């Protein structure tokens, strides 16, 4: 959006630039997560002390008339025998804050390189530099976004270990609460994967742009060298080779971007599905479809193991959707070269190579 405004002859001030608000929102989410961690997990469990956690879980199950689930919790989710795992998880907030500071530092360094004045707007070099730094900012935000989502996943695992989801009225049994928290854990990483795929897409644009610049530089150097040469048809051979190389680069770029776009679409669809299903289950919307079995005898259609496995393998195998893109891209590349008779015009290519040598 900022790029469109620059083309129209106006710039947004730096304090309205989108990346600043991204960091503010992620920082707000991080603070809320830390507050929730201390209030709902650490204070309630005595900072995950095994004895206090066991007493807390037993009392809550007794209040919910769910004492039969205590043995299941003790066998599968009790951290008493995994003291190292408990201690390592407790330092996650410190690494999360450190990640925020490191990403913010590198973002500030790139922000200083951006041109916020109007004196050089329209200059190709200035606009190109602005675009590259803008793309770099989106990639730098990846560790922070993924870290926040990962920390959200750790919070869900803490909730299972102390039998708590932050409230007491949505789920009245440990089994239902655990199922919801496990699904929420998966949804956190689906959201993280979605942004990771977008960062991969932006990185692909940067790499392809860099290759295009290097290729153009080599072409200009070779063109200047040919101008001083008197070999017949050297100029024609160079033009044909230049056109063919540009076609190859264009087809490669289209093929690469198509594959990444399909990957982004798959990750976005997976994240959207997971968030919608979990939110609907949490707020008891359409119990026959999204319900976890809290208010009904059977779980909803989308909460059954059969549907969950089907959806899991559907998104897991969605990477194969890029195969048609590869085939079409490969066919397009071959067709472009055949139309220009590049493969059969070996004499022109060898002539240019001999001149360059």
Domain boundaries, the chain: 1-168, 172-357
Q: What are phi and psi of 116, to 5 degrees?
A: -100, 0
**Which residue bears the tokens 């710039």?**
11
Confidence of residue 321 (pLDDT cuts 50, 70, 90): low
Within the chain, residue ranges assigned H as helices are: 2-7, 18-36, 43-45, 50-63, 70-76, 83-90, 92-113, 124-162, 174-227, 234-282, 287-290, 305-316, 322-339, 346-356
Output 303 or 170, whichever has higher pLDDT. 303
What pLDDT, on the 0 to 100 scale, is given for residue 26? 93
CB burial string 127-144: b at 16+ within 10 A, e below: beebbbbbbbbbebbbbb
Nearest to 290 by CA among 269, 311, 262: 311
Q: How many alpha carbons fall within 13 Å on the CB side of residue 27? A: 12
pLDDT of residue 248: 64
DSSP output for 218-273:
HHHHHHHHHHT---TTHHHHHHHHHHHHHHHHHHHHHHHHHHHHHHHHHHHHHHHH
Could you give the angle at which helices 174-227 and 124-162 cross, rounded to 10 degrees? 160
* pLDDT, average across residues 151-180: 84
Torsion of CA 87, 93, 94, 97, to 10 degrees: 170
Measured CA to CA, the distance from residue 130 to residue 111 in angstroms comes to: 10
pLDDT, residue 189, reads 92
Is the pLDDT higher at 193 or at 352? Answer: 193
Q: Is the pLDDT of residue 333 over 50?
A: no
Of 161-170, 235-244, 274-283, the one with minimum mean pLDDT is 235-244
How large a percentage of the chain has pLDDT more than 70?
69
Structure tokens at 83: 């003291």
Helix axes 346-356, 174-227, angle to 10 degrees: 70
- Phi and psi based region of residue 113 (left: phi greater than 0; alpha: psi -120 to 50; beta: remaining): alpha
Q: Of all residues in the chain, what percent carry a pLDDT higher than 90?
A: 26
- Range of weakest confidence among 232-236, 281-285, 288-292: 232-236
- DSSP SS3 for 294: coil
The pLDDT value given to residue 15 = 74
Which two three-digit tokens encode residue 342?
């590049």
Question: Could you tell me the pLDDT band of residue 331, with boundaries at 50, 70 and 90?
Answer: very low
Q: Is the pLDDT of residue 335 over 50?
A: no
What is the overall mean pLDDT for the chain? 76
Interacting residues of 50 by C-beta distance below 8 A, sequence separation 6+: 78, 79, 80, 83, 86
Closest CA to 145 of 174, 104, 112, 85: 104
Distance CA 180, CA 189 (A): 15
Better pLDDT: 147 or 292:
147
Residue 2 has pLDDT above 70, yes or no: no
Band (pLDDT 50/70/90 cuts) for residue 93 is very high
Residue 278, C-beta contacts closer than 8 angstroms, at least 6 positions apart: 180, 183, 184, 187
pLDDT classification of 284: cutoffs 50, 70, 90: confident
Is residue 137 within 8 Å of 106, Cβ to Cβ? no
Segment 10-65, tens digit of pLDDT:
556 767 788 999 999 999 999 999 999 999 889 988 899 999 999 999 998 998 88
pLDDT at position 162 is 92
CA 345 to chain centre: 45
Tell me what pLDDT residue 185 has: 92
pLDDT in tens, 201-217: 999 888 888 877 777 77
In this prediction, residue 168 has a pLDDT band, given cuts at 50, 70 and 90, of low
Single out the residue of 336, 140, 316, 142 nearest to residue 255, CA to CA.
Answer: 336
Length of the chain: 357
Encode pLDDT of 101-157 as tens digits: 999 999 998 888 775 544 455 555 555 677 888 899 999 999 999 999 999 999 999
Alpha-carbon distances, residue 146 vs 143, 173, 272 (angstroms): 5, 31, 16
Q: Which residues contact 67 (CB under 8 A, 6 or more apart)?
A: 58, 61
Contacts of 154 (CB under 8 A, 6+ apart): 89, 92
Q: Which of the four pLDDT bands, split at 50, 70 and 90, describes residue 319?
A: low
């Amino acid at each position: 959006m900022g790029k469109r405004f620059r083309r129209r002859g106006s710039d947004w001030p730096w304090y309205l630039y989108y990346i600043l608000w991204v960091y503010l929102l992620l920082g707000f989410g991080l603070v809320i997560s830390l507050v929730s961690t201390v209030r709902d997990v650490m204070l309630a469990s005595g900072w995950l002390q095994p004895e206090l956690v066991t007493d807390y879980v037993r009392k809550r199950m007794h209040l919910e008339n769910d004492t039969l689930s205590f043995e299941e919790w003790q066998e599968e989710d009790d951290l008493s025998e995994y003291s190292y795992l408990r201690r390592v998880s407790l330092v996650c907030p410190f690494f999360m804050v450190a990640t925020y500071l490191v990403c913010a530092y590198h973002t500030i360094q790139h922000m200083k390189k951006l041109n916020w004045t109007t004196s050089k707007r329209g200059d190709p070099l200035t606009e190109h530099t602005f675009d590259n730094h803008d793309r770099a900012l989106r990639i730098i935000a990846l560790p922070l976004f993924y870290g926040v989502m990962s920390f959200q996943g750790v919070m869900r695992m803490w909730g299972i270990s102390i039998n708590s989801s932050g409230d007491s009225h949505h789920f009245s049994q440990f089994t239902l609460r655990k199922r919801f928290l496990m699904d929420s854990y998966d949804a956190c990483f689906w959201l993280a994967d979605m942004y990771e795929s977008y960062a991969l897409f932006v990185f692909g644009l940067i790499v392809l742009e860099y290759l295009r610049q290097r290729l153009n530089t080599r072409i200009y150097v070779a063109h200047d060298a040919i101008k001083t040469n008197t070999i017949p048809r050297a100029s024609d051979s160079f033009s044909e080779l230049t056109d063919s190389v540009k076609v190859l680069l264009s087809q490669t770029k289209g093929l690469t971007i198509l594959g990444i776009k399909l990957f982004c679409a798959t990750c976005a669809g997976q994240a959207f599905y997971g968030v919608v299903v979990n939110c609907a289950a949490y707020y008891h919307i359409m119990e026959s479809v999204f319900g976890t079995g809290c208010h009904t005898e059977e779980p909803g259609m989308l909460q059954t193991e059969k549907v969950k496995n089907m959806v899991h393998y559907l998104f897991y195998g969605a990477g194969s959707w890029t195969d048609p893109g590869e085939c079409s891209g490969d066919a397009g590349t071959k067709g472009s070269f055949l139309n220009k008779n590049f493969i059969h015009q070996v004499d022109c290519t060898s002539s240019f190579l001999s001149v360059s040598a």
